[in-house]
Amino acid sequence: MASHEPHWWLGEPLWETVAKRGEKAATYFWPGSEVTKGDWNCPDYYCEHYNGSVPFEDRVDKIISYFDLPSEEIPVFMTLYFEDPDHQGHQVGPDDPEITRAVVRIDEMIGRLIKGLEERGVFEDVNVIMVGDHGMVGTCDRKLIFLDDLAPWVEIKLDWVQSYTPLLAISPPPEFSAKEIVAKMNEGLQSGKVENGKNLRVFLKEDLPSRLHYADSYRIPPIIGLLEEGYKVEQKNSNKNECGGAHGYDNAFFSMRTVFMAHGPKFARGRKVPSFENVQIYNLVTSILNIEGAPNNGSDSFPNSVLLPDA
């Protein structure tokens, strides 16, 4: 995430797809939008480099200002990003009153956006999609698993671990057998002698449930551990006492779901759609813009289940 080298950014984001089709796109802080890649060069005025100190009001006003441009200069696709309530969720968990205050603040910003579009007489002509990228679940130290507790079965060294929570990712040196490490870890975790051990399941990446689509990339470490909801992995017991929030657990957990709302000429008023995975949104947007998208993991039929048919 700290690098803007295109080598590390796989896939084709919507702003690149729009630019490839010869249309204008504008991005305000969406992750990866600063990366120059393909036909997208993060153009001045249409692409903001991330700065978390920029007030939310300024972000909304910049998006609204695009509608004051001559028609040929108005982007056909725009993104607007807020860190909240994710920021607060990590600090205090999803159920703290601070989250309610953060949601109220975002609600005010959405109201500011709608008002600006209404004042320009375009609110009913613009398709607006509001979406979160994930849910959030509370985590506390009473739900901890320590890798050092597995020492009687296998030693997991600090420099082998690429991430601990919510997805345990281990990349041992090539002289070690990943299969053997997985077997020994699971033996210890299921022994009843490791605190909270039964709340962690360890896999070779190729043995992960296929629905997760998390095996094919060379960048995925060979050993992956899936945690039960709200549990955390740490290397050793530091006797810290903290509670917060996290996301990135199995998307089968209801707590990992997020919000999807939409308004505009392509969406029926008052309609509810069944839950879906966020990978579907790419094709939803390209269908609205009537442009050809890049190959992706969404289904071609999904937009037809959500959008109004063309008149």
Q: Is residue 13 included in any domain, yes or no?
A: yes
CA distance 305 to 274: 10
Q: Is residue 1 included in any domain, yes or no?
A: no
Same domain, 11 and 132: yes
Indicate which CATH number applies to the domain containing 65: 3.40.720.10
Same domain, 12 and 132: yes
**The residue type at 254:** F
Same domain, 14 and 94: yes
Q: Give Cβ neighbours of residue 179 (< 8 Å, ≥ 6 apart).
A: 204
Q: What is the pTM of this model?
A: 0.91
Same domain, 10 and 148: no
Contact status, residue 60 vs residue 80, Cβ threshold 8 Å: yes
CA distance 228 to 198: 9
Same domain, 108 and 190: no
Q: At what angle do helices 97-119 and 56-65 cross, to 10 degrees?
A: 20
Of 196, 214, 244, the residue that ends a domain is 244
Q: Is residue 106 included in any domain, yes or no?
A: yes
From the number of C-beta atoms within 10 Å of its C-beta (0-12, 13-18, 19+), residue 259 rates as exposed
Domain region containing 77? 6-137+252-306
CA distance 43 to 236: 46
Q: Give Cβ neighbours of residue 82 (< 8 Å, ≥ 6 apart).
A: 56, 59, 106, 109
Q: Is residue 60 included in any domain, yes or no?
A: yes
Here the tokens at position 79 are 């993104």
Of 205, 223, 244, the residue that ends a domain is 244
Rg (alpha carbons) of the chain, rounded to whole number: 22
Of 200, 224, 244, the residue that ends a domain is 244
Here the tokens at position 226 are 């899936």
Tell me what pLDDT residue 141 has.
Answer: 76
Residue 65's CB: how many other CB atoms inside 10 A? Answer: 11
Phi, psi (degrees; rounded to nearest 5) at 281: -70, -30
Indicate which CATH number applies to the domain containing 227: 3.30.1360.180
Here the tokens at position 5 are 């080298």
Render each residue's pLDDT in the chain as its tens digit; 311 residues: 788 999 999 899 999 999 999 999 999 999 999 999 999 999 999 999 999 999 999 999 999 999 999 999 999 999 999 999 999 999 999 999 999 999 999 999 999 999 999 999 999 999 999 999 999 999 987 899 999 999 999 999 999 999 999 999 999 999 999 999 999 999 999 999 999 999 999 999 999 999 999 999 999 999 999 999 999 999 999 877 678 999 999 999 999 999 999 999 999 999 999 999 999 999 999 999 999 999 999 999 999 999 999 86
Same domain, 155 and 297: no
Same domain, 131 and 239: no
